[in-house]
Amino acid sequence: MARRNKVTVVGAGNVGATAAHWIASKELADVVLVDIVEGVPQGKALDLAQAAPIDGFDVKLVGANSYEETAGSDVVIITAGLPRKPGMSRDDLLKTNSDIVGSVTDQVAKYSPDSFLIIVSNPLDAMAQVAFRRSGFPKNRVIGMAGVLDSARMRCFLAEALDVSVENVTAFVLGGHGDTMVPLPRYSTCAGIPVTELLPEDKLNKIIDRTANGGAEIVGLLKTGSAFYAPSLGAVEMTESILKDKKKILPCAVFLEGEYGINDLFVGVPVKLGRNGVEQIIEISLTNDERSALQKSAAAVQELVDVLGI
Question: Annotated catalytic sites, by residue?
Answer: 177
Answer whether 273's CB lies under 8 Å from 238's CB. yes
What is the pairing mode between strands 193-194 and 189-190?
antiparallel
- Vertex 119 angle, CA 259 and 265, to 5°: 25
142-144 β-sheet, strand order: 61-64, 30-34, 6-10, 75-78, 116-119, 142-144, 248-257, 263-274, 277-281
CA distance 63 to 42: 4
Bridge partner list, 32: 8, 62
User: Tell me, what DSSP letter sits at residue 61?
Assistant: E
CA distance 232 to 157: 19
CA distance 51 to 18: 13
Count of helices and strands (H, E) across the chain: 9, 14
Q: Which of 222, 223, 249, 219 is nearest to 151 (CA)?
A: 249
Q: Which of 233, 276, 274, 235 is nearest to 253 (CA)?
A: 235
Angle between helix axes 229-243 and 147-162 (nearest 10 degrees) is 110
Bridge partner list, 265: 256
